[in-house]
C-alpha cells in the first residue's frame, strides 16, 4: 500500500489517527477524535469531525461534511459518535451527523454504500451494506435502512421509520411509515408497486424466491385484507422461503405501520403493525 499523503493546506487535529495509505487533499479538515482507516481518501475541502471512526478504502469527495453535530435541539453537546465501515463513497456535499444521547449515541453506516451528492444521513440512523442514496436523498433521525436498499433522488424518510432490505424507493417519494423490503415504493402519497425484480435479479435471488415474493405481494398489498389477516394467511400458506420469512417478520415488527397501499387506491388500506 502506498504511503500516507497529506496536503500542506490540510488541517488535522493532533488527536486524529490516520492509517496507512490515507490521502488528505487540499484544505480538508480532520477534527478531534477522528480515526481514518487504511487507504481512505479525503478530498479537497471535505471535513470529518469526531468522534468518528471510518474504516478502510472509503472515499470522501469535495465538500462533504461527515461527523458533525446532530441537527437536533435536544442535543446538548454530550459525546456521541459516528461509526463508518469500509469502501463507502460520500459524494460532493453529502452530510452525515453523529448520534444523540437520547437516541443511543451512535449513527452507524456499514460497508460498500454509495451516498450521492447532497444526500443526508441524520442522527442515530443505522444504514446497512451496499445501499444507494441518490442525489438529495434524506433520512430523518433514528431511521434504519436494510442491506441493498435504494433511496431515490429527493426521497425523504421520516424519523423513526425503517426501510427494508432490497427495497427500492422512487424519486421524490415521501415516506412516513415503514417501507416494505424487496418491494418498490413510490410517490409523495406512496404506494407499493410490486416486487423489485430488477434489483433482486441483480443481487442473484433465485427465480423461486422471486415467485414467492410476488405471491406475498399479492396477498399483503392487493388482497385488501387487514394487515393482521394478511399476515395470518401468509404464515399459513408460504412455502418457507427465507426472504418471505424476513418480509413477514418486518411487517409484524413494525411500530409505525407499513406502507401497503396499492397503486391507484390511495390510502384506502394502510399497512400497520400486526
- Which tens digit of pLDDT belongs to each residue from 70-92? 999 999 999 999 999 999 999 99
Q: Are 4 and 23 in contact (CB under 8 A)?
A: yes
pLDDT of residue 264: 78
The reported pTM is: 0.94
**Long-range contacts of the stretch 40-46 (C-beta < 8 A, 24+):** 44/7, 46/90
Superfamily of domain 5-142: Hexapeptide repeat proteins (2.160.10.10)
DSSP 186: E
How far is residue 274 from each of residues 1, 219, 258, measured CA to CA in Å? 52, 15, 10
pLDDT of residue 1: 66
pLDDT of residue 2: 81
CA–chain centroid gap for 91, Å, is 15
In the predicted model, is pLDDT for residue 269 greater than 70? no
Continuous H helices in 84-221: 197-202, 207-217
Catalytic annotation, pick one of 123, 126, 142, 243: 123
Question: Residue 271 CB: number of other CB atoms within 10 A?
Answer: 23
Residues 6+ apart with CB under 8 A from 89: 58, 59, 61, 113, 114, 115
Catalytic annotation, pick one of 25, 99, 141, 146: 141
Q: Are 106 and 82 in contact (CB under 8 A)?
A: yes
Phi then psi for 248, rounded to 5 degrees?
-60, -45
Question: How do residues 16-50 score in pLDDT, each as one tens digit?
Answer: 999 999 999 999 999 999 999 999 999 999 999 99
In the predicted model, is pLDDT for residue 273 greater than 80? no
Tell me what the mean pLDDT of segment 210-237 comes to: 94
Q: Are 184 and 193 in contact (CB under 8 A)?
A: yes
pLDDT of residue 173: 98
Question: How do residues 238-268 score in pLDDT, each as one tens digit?
Answer: 889 999 999 999 999 999 999 999 997 654 4
Tell me what the mean pLDDT of segment 46-70 comes to: 98
Q: Are 80 and 105 in contact (CB under 8 A)?
A: yes
Question: Residue 206 CB: number of other CB atoms within 10 A?
Answer: 12
Distance from C-alpha of 136 to C-alpha of 119, rounded to nearest angstrom: 4
Residue 141 is a catalytic residue: yes
Catalytic annotation, pick one of 86, 124, 178, 241: 124
Tell me what the mean pLDDT of segment 153-157 comes to: 98
User: What per-residue string of b and e applies to 101-125 under the rule 16 or more CB within 10 Å gives b?
Assistant: bbbebbbbbbbbbbbbbbbbbbbbb
Domain boundaries, the chain: 5-142
In the chain, what percentage of residues exceed pLDDT 90? 92
In the predicted model, is pLDDT for residue 272 greater than 80? no
Please provide the average confidence, as pLDDT, over all residues in the chain.
95
Amino acid at each position: 500500500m502506498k504511503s500516507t499523503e497529506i496536503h500542506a493546506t490540510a488541517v488535522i487535529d493532533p488527536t486524529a489517527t490516520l492509517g496507512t495509505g490515507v490521502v488528505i487533499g487540499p484544505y480538508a479538515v480532520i477534527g478531534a477524535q477522528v480515526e481514518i482507516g487504511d487507504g481512505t481518501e479525503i478530498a479537497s475541502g471535505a471535513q470529518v469531525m469526531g468522534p468518528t471512526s471510518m474504516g478502510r478504502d472509503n472515499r470522501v469527495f469535495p465538500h462533504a461534511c461527515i461527523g458533525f453535530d446532530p441537527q437536533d435541539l435536544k442535543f446538548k453537546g454530550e459525546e456521541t459518535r459516528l461509526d463508518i465501515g469500509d469502501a463507502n463513497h460520500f459524494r460532493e456535499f453529502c452530510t452525515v451527523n453523529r448520534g444523540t444521547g437520547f437516541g443511543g449515541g451512535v449513527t452507524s453506516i456499514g460497508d460498500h454504500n454509495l451516498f450521492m451528492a447532497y444526500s443526508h444521513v441524520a442522527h442515530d440512523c443505522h444504514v446497512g451494506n451496499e445501499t444507494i442514496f441518490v442525489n438529495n436523498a434524506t433520512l430523518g433521525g433514528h431511521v434504519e435502512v436494510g442491506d441493498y436498499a435504494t433511496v431515490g433522488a429527493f426521497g425523504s424518510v421520516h424519523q423513526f421509520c425503517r426501510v427494508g432490505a432490497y427495497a427500492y424507493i422512487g424519486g421524490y417519494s415521501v415516506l412516513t411509515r415503514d417501507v416494505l423490503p424487496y418491494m418498490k415504493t413510490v410517490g409523495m402519497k406512496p404506494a407499493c408497486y410490486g416486487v423489485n425484480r430488477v434489483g433482486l435479479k441483480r443481487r442473484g435471488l433465485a427465480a423461486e424466491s422471486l415467485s414467492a415474493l410476488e405471491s406475498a405481494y399479492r396477498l399483503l398489498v392487493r388482497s385488501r385484507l387487514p394487515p393482521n389477516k394478511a399476515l395470518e394467511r401468509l404464515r399459513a400458506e408460504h412455502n418457507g422461503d427465507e426472504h418471505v420469512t424476513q418480509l413477514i417478520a418486518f411487517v409484524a415488527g413494525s411500530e409505525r405501520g407499513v406502507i401497503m397501499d396499492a397503486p391507484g387506491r390511495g390510502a384506502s388500506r394502510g399497512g400497520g403493525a400486526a
